[in-house]
Structure 1
Amino acid sequence: MWLEQVIVAILVLQVSGAQNLMGKQSGYMGYFRVTLDDLVQNTTNEIGTNCRRHLNYYRKGLEMHRTWALQMFDATSKLQSGIGFGNTADLGSFKECIKINRRINYSEYIRGRYCLGETSLNLNGIASLNASLTLQLASCLPHTCTSSDASIIYTYFDLNITFPKKLCQTILDQEDLRFGVAEYCGIAFFAIFAVIITISTTYDIYLYTSESQTKHSILVAFSVLKNGKKLIAIENNAKQITCINGIRVISTLWIILDHRYSIQFSFPLWNNFYKDAWRLSAGNMFMLNAPMAVDTFFLLSGTVVTYVYLWSAEKTRSFPFFKFYLHRFLRLTPVLAAVIIFIVTLLRHVSSGPLWTSTINTQLIEGCEKFWWKTLLYIQNYGQESTMCIPHGWYLSADMQLFVVSPIFLLALSRWPKRTMCGIIALTVCNIIACFLLGWFLELNAIMQGNVDFEKQMIYVWQYYFPAYTRAAPWLIGIILGYYLYLSKKEKRTLPMKAVVVVWILSLVVICAIVFGGHGLLTSEYHKPINSVYFALVRPAWALVISGVIFTCANNYGGPVNWFLSLPIFEVLSRFTYTLYIVHYIVIYILTSQMRTTIFFNNLEAMHQFWGDFAFTLFVSAFLTLTFELPVMEIEKIIFTKKRSESTMTLEEGASAVERPPRP
């Protein structure tokens, strides 16, 4: 009913506007010229002298149908179609505007200045409405007209439009983004690695063709040939839990798809009003519950580090603390540092568009310029800053913090397994109670999108979503799973078929209930006890059922599910999941921030864009993996380890096989 009233209101505005235009001049362009003449003649309106003079040239250009003036007029927004469905943003024609360059005398030019502004459309009294509608409209005016001049100009058209300075651009502004010291440093950084890779690969090719052996392995550490073989190699290791590869890859894809939706929703859409209906649709709970993929990775983190340690503890009683932490840091940091360097030096030069500069600066560059150190120290999930460097990197911080305390559990588990298990279960129960109390006293909706108020969403994110202590339950359950996987592999126990059937039925039922559940929390009135219980139980419940899937598959009771999750393609793709996670968010912002027109949103279009996101992200991930991740791991191996048999797993090699994704 509300939508129908808005459509009627817009039609009334269109008709009344057309009547006004016809009464003043023949057509909108005639009305536009007359209004320009009025504001140029009025010397008391505080418009700049050069702006006034160039507006007069603009008006005369329209009268004489000059191409440059018609282009400036064409690039400016008019009242668009589809406002009743949420097409409340008209981005005009960005490129057409800033390309305008008209010489008016020997030393003077008129260039186009593109500005994007907002105005509130008052619907009071129209079609029995009592509301307002915010419109985003683009203006193309002479470059001598500032954003404040543009606001004054549009008052003559009975429009109160605010033009933020950061959303105004000319071709000169883009040309002013010349390369400075930071940019040249960024180019030098990546150029150095490009040269090293070229030399190392060339040398490796020479060794391969001449069938020679290298005396210094470090010379081929950066070889694309050598590292590329590692990326696509299929390993046969009896101790490997192959189903984890599929779970890791599917969870990563779920996260990328979730970020495609969330980022797309923050940009202008043709059917913007559809967003509310989309969120309230029960069928879309699959996307609203995508944060469960985060808890999958916390579960895998605890599982793998425990499983690998227990195997390595059979060969040595000492715990290599230094190598344990150093390996983890070297595993994560080189790729992370390279991405940060790219963001602060070269990202702003990648593209352009009406929203490009303001969005990329706000969402990525400013945060990394201020808080790059928090990201590299893995503490950015605390602090409640308005901007973050690599916002989705909060997961790496939370996971690293849990990893730092993991030796306490690992050492205890190898010496007093039963007592340690009881302690871990007790800690898990305490974490569940703490999450219940957090939901109770903060009075938050258990589904993030259910917290409509922005302040509530920020409390949800910083108090419940980011902290490592609220994420501990799945990680602790992962430690338990890792211990029992170790026992089952070592002792080769068989499971009763009835127990296997029960585990599979419960797992599938709970997985479906969690993935597609929670709809009532969004559509019904807030109920504190229900939301608090959901807060407390949803994460450990999810971790338990995923643990059931992994345990049964690892012990060959998974059937077709284990076959699918253990496909070789997942083993290969799982080697990219860390870099996929790091760069996908940036790739999506790059692809979306250069938009020139609003798009029509639906699930099919989002899926289409998602596969494009994945393709671009995979390409960038392959580059980062070959350039930074694998070479650093190879150098570390050369420096700190001796030759080992291929079947031997070590704590240092396996401890960081867990650094895989989530969402911000």
Structure 2
Amino acid sequence: VEPFLFAHDTIPQQREFFVGSYASGDVQGYASKHRSRWVEPFLFAHDTIPQQREFFVGSYASGDVQGYASKHRSRWLLNSWIEYISGSTNIAVDEVECVRSRYEKQWFETLVPLIEFSSNKLLMWIVAFATVYHLQRGEQTNSLLMRLFLAFSVKKNFIAITTLPKDSQSTIGCIFGLRFLITVWVIVGHSSIFIQDFLSNPEIYRRQLTDNFFGQLVTNCMLSVDTFFVLSATLTSFHWFRSISRAGAQQKLTSLGYWLRFYRHRVLRLWPAYLYVLLVTVLRFSRSHFHPMWAPEDQGEMCRKNWWKNALFINSFSDNLCMPWT
């Protein structure tokens, strides 16, 4: 075992075996507690000098220790790990964070995630049937129930989001094109981030991005989300200034009821989609993913404790790691 622990004169394959011998599942990574899902692959340190490798591994450790140590022995395991790597007994673990394992049952073997998953599939079937009905018979109906049913039609919603308003001065036309381009940018950028946790050659991946001019779309993807803040603020300001330019609107600015209605409108638009994502994260999505992708700020555990803060939009005012991207 010692040659795998003292990585001074071993080959990369031996060091890979060392990582896998201490955990089960996807274990080719170590991450600090502040990096959340952004895992620095252990293989990235293989080509450095031994002293740098020891510091890298000895500073950060993350992995599933199921079958190797119980909860009360987790600190002993990590201390032994660092002692083996550094060759010194003077280095101790500063902090140990344990996340409750969800390996006892698969997500589809538990009731609540299964209900959520089934309701999600039911919603997809409703969308499919509503779309087929709309294509076959149209939307001419006086029934309230049928109007609610047709609200799920893909055709109806596609027409609604692609049709420009009759008054061209009521909106900013170029915003629609910017929304599409930025959405594609966000998807490409986030996909490139998440895939890094599963790569066995992160150095080659990094070099291809940095050496390619178009790789800037990926390396600068963190700025893509900021553009949504700009677009949202621009549209909100545009419509607000149009509303107060009407006759008599200036008097409403000092009314408490006016501002309550203004924020009520914003909250009601955000709440349904936001609560749906929160529900999926807590009930099913967190159970279908295993460590180390979510270590140690496990979304399933954090959202179970702090979901109500997200529902009230006050999660930014506390040390809450439930859906931190919101």
Q: 1:340 to 1:275 in 2, by over 3 A?
A: same
Could you say which residue in structure 1 is the equivalent of 2:300? 365
Where 1:359 maps in the other structure, the secondary structure is coil
- Asked if the contact 1:166–1:358 (Cα under 8 Å) also holds between the matched residues in 2, the reply is no
- Asked if the contact 2:282–2:304 (Cα under 8 Å) also holds between the matched residues in 1, the reply is yes
Where 2:142 maps in the other structure, the secondary structure is coil
Could you say which residue in structure 1 is the equivalent of 2:142? 214
Q: 1:379 to 1:275 in 2, by over 3 A?
A: farther
Q: Tell me the amino acid that sits aligned with residue 318 of structure 2.
A: G
The 5-angstrom pairing of residues 47-446 of structure 1 reads 80=13, 91=20, 116=27, 130-133=51-54, 134=57, 146-147=68-69, 173=103, 175=105, 177=107, 179-187=109-117, 189-190=119-120, 193-194=123-124, 197=127, 200-201=130-131, 204=134, 207-208=137-138, 212-216=140-144, 217-233=147-163, 237-239=167-169, 240-264=171-195, 267=197, 269-271=199-201, 289-313=220-244, 315=246, 317-318=248-249, 319=252, 320-348=258-286, 350=288, 356-360=290-294, 362-385=297-320, 388-393=321-326
Distance 2:128 2:153 in 1: 8
Instruction: Quote how far apart the aligned CAs of 1:80 are.
Output: 0.8
- Asked if the contact 2:302–2:322 (Cα under 8 Å) also holds between the matched residues in 1, the reply is yes
Distance 1:167 1:371 in 2: 16
Instruction: Quote how far apart the aligned CAs of 1:339 are.
Output: 1.3
- Asked if the contact 2:113–2:283 (Cα under 8 Å) also holds between the matched residues in 1, the reply is yes
Distance 2:115 2:62 in 1: 38
TM-score relative to the length of structure 2: 0.58
- Asked if the contact 1:258–1:287 (Cα under 8 Å) also holds between the matched residues in 2, the reply is yes
Where 1:80 maps in the other structure, the secondary structure is helix
Instruction: Quote how far apart the aligned CAs of 1:308 are.
Output: 1.9
Q: 1:390 to 1:89 in 2, by over 3 A?
A: farther
Distance 1:139 1:309 in 2: 52
Distance 2:13 2:143 in 1: 69
CA RMSD of aligned residues (A): 5.3
Q: Tell me the amino acid that sits aligned with residue 245 of structure 1.
A: F
Instruction: Quote how far apart the aligned CAs of 1:341 are.
Output: 1.1
Distance 2:163 2:318 in 1: 42
Where 1:392 maps in the other structure, the secondary structure is coil
Among all aligned residue pairs of Structure 1 and Structure 2, give the percentage whose two residues are the same amino acid.
20
Distance 1:293 1:327 in 2: 26
Instruction: Quote how far apart the aligned CAs of 1:249 are.
Output: 3.0
- Asked if the contact 1:117–1:137 (Cα under 8 Å) also holds between the matched residues in 2, the reply is no
Where 1:346 maps in the other structure, the secondary structure is helix
Distance 2:225 2:62 in 1: 38
- Asked if the contact 2:189–2:221 (Cα under 8 Å) also holds between the matched residues in 1, the reply is yes
Instruction: Quote how far apart the aligned CAs of 1:334 are.
Output: 0.9
Q: 1:326 to 1:186 in 2, by over 3 A?
A: same
Q: Which has the larger radius of gyration?
A: 1
Q: Tell me the amino acid that sits aligned with residue 383 of structure 1.
A: S
Where 1:391 maps in the other structure, the secondary structure is coil
Could you say which residue in structure 2 is the equivalent of 1:558? none
Where 1:338 maps in the other structure, the secondary structure is helix
Where 1:381 maps in the other structure, the secondary structure is helix
Q: 1:223 to 1:168 in 2, by over 3 A?
A: closer
Unaligned 5+ segments in structure 2 are: 1-5, 31-41, 43-47, 87-92, 253-257
- Asked if the contact 1:115–1:168 (Cα under 8 Å) also holds between the matched residues in 2, the reply is no
Q: 1:328 to 1:316 in 2, by over 3 A?
A: farther
Distance 2:293 2:137 in 1: 48
